[in-house]
């Protein structure tokens, strides 16, 4: 049901696209952070857990957090332009 609403032609606005990207990035961030906690609680072998966390999960959490911040800044700038400079904005 949500896909029908999100992917309609009249929903192809940059603001909506950025919100969808923000949701996807935040879900990825939550998965990587809770995934690391789940590995510790499931008592995966120490070497495997350390290697996965140090080489993959920790860097991906940082990348996704940074991407989330950049998307929020982009949404703020887009809203500023759309509201304060309406003649320039052609959406």
Taking only Cα atoms into account, the Rg of the chain, rounded to an integer number of angstroms, comes to 18
Q: Are 72 and 23 in contact (CB under 8 A)?
A: no
Q: What is the pTM of this model?
A: 0.72
79 contact partners, CB below 8 Å, separation of at least 6: 15
Q: Strand, coil or helix: what is 43?
A: coil
Residue 72 pLDDT grade (very low, low, confident, very high; cuts 50, 70, 90): very high
| Tens-place pLDDT, residues 37-59 | 666 666 666 666 667 777 777 88
């Amino acid at each position: 049901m949500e896909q029908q609403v999100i992917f309609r032609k009249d929903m192809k606005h940059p603001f909506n696209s950025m919100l969808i990207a923000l949701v996807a990035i935040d879900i990825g961030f939550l998965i990587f952070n809770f995934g690391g906690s789940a590995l510790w609680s499931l008592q995966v072998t120490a070497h495997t857990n350390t290697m996965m966390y140090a080489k993959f999960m920790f860097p991906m959490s940082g990348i996704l957090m940074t991407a989330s911040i950049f998307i929020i800044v982009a949404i703020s700038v887009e809203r500023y332009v759309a509201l304060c400079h309406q003649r320039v904005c052609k959406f």
